[in-house]
Amino acid sequence: MVFESLADKLQNTFKTLRGKGKLTEADVKAAMREVKLALLEADVNFKIVKDFIQKVTDRAIGQEVMSSLTPGQQVIKIVNEELTTLMGTTRSKLTFSSSPISVYMMVGLQGSGKTTTCGKLGNYLKKQGKKPLLVACDIYRPAAIKQLQVVGDSLAIPVFTMGEISPIEITKAAITHAQRYGNDVVILDTAGRLHIDEMLMNELVDIKKAARPTEILLVVDAMTGQDAVNVAESFNAQLGIDGLIMTKLDGDTRGGAALSVRAVTGKPIKFAGVGEKLSELEEFHPDRMASRILGMGDVLTLIEKAQSTFDEDEARKLEKKMKKGSFDFEDFLSQLQQMKKMGPIGDLLGMIPGLGNQKALKDIQVDEKDFVRLEAIIQSMTLKERRDPNIINGSRKKRIAAGSGTSVQEVNKLLKQFEQTKKMMKQFAGMDKRMKRGGMRM
Ligand code: GDP
């Protein structure tokens, strides 16, 4: 998988930071040396790496550490944010023309995956309800026209061909054809070469004039690393491109191209090819890619969520109450509500690194409805009952059950569970004290 070794290296670097309560400037610098090596090994452009390390170091050293994060987590957060920025911050969507037909001109070197990607894009747009037309403009590579026809047939997308006449004529005729037959998307499969040459560029410029494309999309092969970035620079300088589609991100690539290309060319990656099948095209999300590179599930989201939902003062008050055994239904309710704010329990578990992909997790069924019922029961209690559950007798139970749309059995179950939890909390609190007295720490 792409970025595998980069992810491994970064994780090792962060492991040494994670345990630290306080980070010194030397800690940050040492970690950044490792990050720098990891990025260079992943074939990220040297200048980009230098800028990146500088930015992260400045922010990590200069910034005050948030009280709810450890300094190590803080560095991870900054690295993640800067990686996301490097790839363009937010997802760049495909634009559509305001006229009835959107024309996408696909360009790229031979072997980059251009023809396959024309099919993939057609398929993606067809699924959105568009009526695409694929157009064979590569008249030089002998099998190119046939290849596009095969791709189109397998997707039930029409393919426009005119054999080996001028690609400019083909383009014009294809757009007329699309107007007549109601195709609202035209995808031009242009010719590629092994290397960029003047003849190819001139032809592409002429096609661009004839087609007036909504977007010119450059297809580059992630496996070619920095060459892909150079190709992107040339195409952008000579033809002007609107975005990139990076193919073969499923392969064993080091990923450097995906990280550098945006910063070098200023053009976004719009899609990623992640396999040979025609369905294997993904929208490119910089933030998701960054957390994939860091190999930490969505631990960052978790950190942020925890930060925004848990009030530290509240947490301390609660801890005191637990220890004294005065934890009541009011506290229980506010706990439930805080947990709900953090989102579905299943999602939260999935965000914990190392847990996310464990098979066992798939078997855990957390029923959100249980939470709703518990909340309803507690809300049907009076304030007095919540503060002192002992007063809840038979008739009160009946009233609570009716009020919450549950049964007396369910109310009983909650009361019993609550008592047991309270007992356990008291025991833990006692244990904690005894251990501290004995010189041990929990
Ligand atoms: P073109 O010469 O640029 O038109 O390239 P093709 O569309 O013929 O693709 C070249 C090769 O790359 C073919 O074997 C494709 O199956 C393969 N290919 C294209 N995109 C991807 C991708 O995203 N992942 C993988 N693994 N292979 C791809």
The fold of the 4-86 domain, in CATH, is Four Helix Bundle (Hemerythrin (Met), subunit A) (1.20.120)
Question: Which long-range contacts link 386-394 to residues 24+ away (Cβ below 8 Å)?
Answer: 386/328, 386/329, 386/330, 386/333, 387/328, 387/329, 387/330, 388/328, 389/328, 389/329, 389/415, 389/418, 389/419
Checking if the pLDDT of 235 tops 50, the result is yes
Does ipTM come in above 0.85? Answer: yes
Checking if the pLDDT of 363 tops 50, the result is no
Q: Give me ligand 1 centre to Cα 115, in Å.
A: 7
Over residues 92-102, the pLDDT tens digits come to 999 999 999 99
Q: Give me ligand 1 centre to Cα 273, in Å.
A: 9
Residue nearest to atom 27 of ligand 1 (CA): 276
Over residues 39-66, the pLDDT tens digits come to 888 889 999 999 999 999 988 887 666 6
Q: Give me ligand 1 centre to Cα 247, in Å.
A: 7
Sign of dihedral through CA atoms 106, 109, 112, 115? positive
Q: Is 51 annotated as a binding residue?
A: no
How far, in Å, CA of 109 to CA of 190, rounded? 10
Residue among 116, 190, 217 to mutate when testing ligand 1 (max atoms within 8 A of CB): 116
Give the whole-number percent of the chain exceeding pLDDT 90: 46
**What is the position in ligand 1's atom list of the atom closest to the CA of 280?**
23
Which CATH architecture group holds 300-437?
A: Orthogonal Bundle (1.10)
Over residues 184-233, the pLDDT tens digits come to 999 999 998 888 889 999 999 999 999 999 999 999 999 998 999 999 99
Report the residue count for the chain: 442
Q: Is 119 annotated as a binding residue?
A: no
Domain map (residue ranges) of the chain: 4-86, 102-294, 300-437
pTM of the shown model? 0.69
Question: Are 117 and 106 contacting, i.e. CB atoms less than 8 angstroms apart?
Answer: yes
Q: Give me ligand 1 centre to Cα 222, in Å.
A: 11
Tell me which residues have their CB closer than 6 angstroms to ligand 1. Answer: 108, 110-116, 192, 247-248, 250-251, 273-276
Over residues 372-431, the pLDDT tens digits come to 888 889 989 988 999 889 999 999 999 999 988 899 999 999 998 888 777 777 666 655
Q: Is 376 annotated as a binding residue?
A: no
Q: Give me ligand 1 centre to Cα 265, in Å.
A: 23
Residue nearest to atom 26 of ligand 1 (CA): 275
Which CATH architecture group holds 102-294?
A: 3-Layer(aba) Sandwich (3.40)
How far, in Å, CA of 95 to CA of 439, rounded? 66
> What's the distance, CA 196 to chain centroid?
33
